[in-house]
Structure 1
Amino acid sequence: MIRCIAVDDEAYAANILADYIGKVPFLELVGTTTSPLEAISWVQDGKVDLVFLDIQMPELTGIQFMKICGNKCRVILTTAYPEYALEGYELDVIDYLLKPIAFDRFLRAVHKAQVAMTTLAKQTPVAPVLVPAAAPDFMFVKGESKNKFLRVDFNEMLYVEGLKNYVSIFTQRLRLVTYQTLRDLEEQLPQPPFYRVHKSYIISIDKVSMVDGNTIYIGDTTIPVGETYREGFLKMIREREQR
């Protein structure tokens, strides 16, 4: 739908255009006015796509109107004076209608507007869809020397055990000990699959073979569920059971 206004200092001329606009299915009449200043406010408010604009008006000429509005709308000029046609086309108007305006000539002009505005819409660049960066699937932990760092893949981790300022990371292949608190390490791990189940343990729920009461089994290893973490952990287990 193309939103239109008719601007002419002679009300009857604006009303003729309003009648024509009402007969065309893809046009919507926003309003008619004899005041170019009122029309400018409609354009500036973003209410208008296409203006049927008289050139000779006492407050502002149609050419001045176009220079003020810039590219906020498209224009079809209407006038009784053919000598203004060249200047209008230099300002990139859709068409130039000479009064008295016959309906068939009006119809050709609005079809030109429809084609021009549809083409412009297709050429308008679409804002790119921002795809969030994939979460990392590994981390680095400090090794035994100052500048040594070891890569640990999350999908290989079984569980983590904390002891004061050190943690032991148990993987499918080996055990790593690094100088770090369990709380700091917990912030680096994706949840899920990792869950804190005890003040001294973080587990990978994907590696759990069985839960029996307050005991978690990961392979041959048993890990206790702490009182503080029991309710949240069992709720998570029940939710996964229902999937």
Structure 2
Amino acid sequence: MIRCLAVDDEAYASEILAGYIRKTPGLELVSTTTNPFDAIQLVQSGEVDLVFLDIQMPELNGIQFLKICGRSCKVILTTAYEQYALEGFEHDVVDYLMKPIPYDRFYRSIMKAKQLFEGDTPKLKNEPEHANGTAFATDYIFLKGDSKNKFIKVDLKDIIYIEGLKNYISVYTSTQRLITYQSLRDFEAQLPPTEFIRVHKSYIIPFGKISTVDGNSLFINNQLIPIGDAFKEAFFKAIKERRS
């Protein structure tokens, strides 16, 4: 059970998040508060695992909160201002939610958080879908660039596959190859498990880009990708579930 805290200087905003938390399996609402100093006390007392944190607050803003408590809990930022996204990711936040926050986007953040807490790819019941029946079909992530303050925005729908190579990974998109210095495991935690799956110790692929599966291999755009023995059972189970 992930213990959650919603912090927002506007009470109605934290109550929306509280409602989402209450109806999502695996989450426990510890409290909501409009006071970031009360939130700091709760986090430092060890009562909270995950904080939904507004950035624009009087007296103490979300970035300042991260500098104080960022190592004591995991944080999902919530804001109406996109310009703080890069600074938030510098503090290793789980995700960055733009207001107004729809439940499906909230849910995807929870999946990321659960992966970080549990080290796997759990699937919650009643998984939300868009109107066209495809869960979380479009979104984006930021890749760490080759300097401290450089981040590259990548649309998930453009990713063809991801390859891990020692201390860095290559992200192949429909137009380019991007290199970022992080582990494949850490990168996997940023991806929605409804759309992506790890099929080998060195490869993550999007379900939607698979053209053929043949024994211990699959093909994406004529690129052969091996299916590792350790990942085979989970992969074929996922394929069967998507057929049903």
Scaled by the length of structure 2, the TM-score of the pair is 0.49
Scaled by the length of structure 1, the TM-score of the pair is 0.49
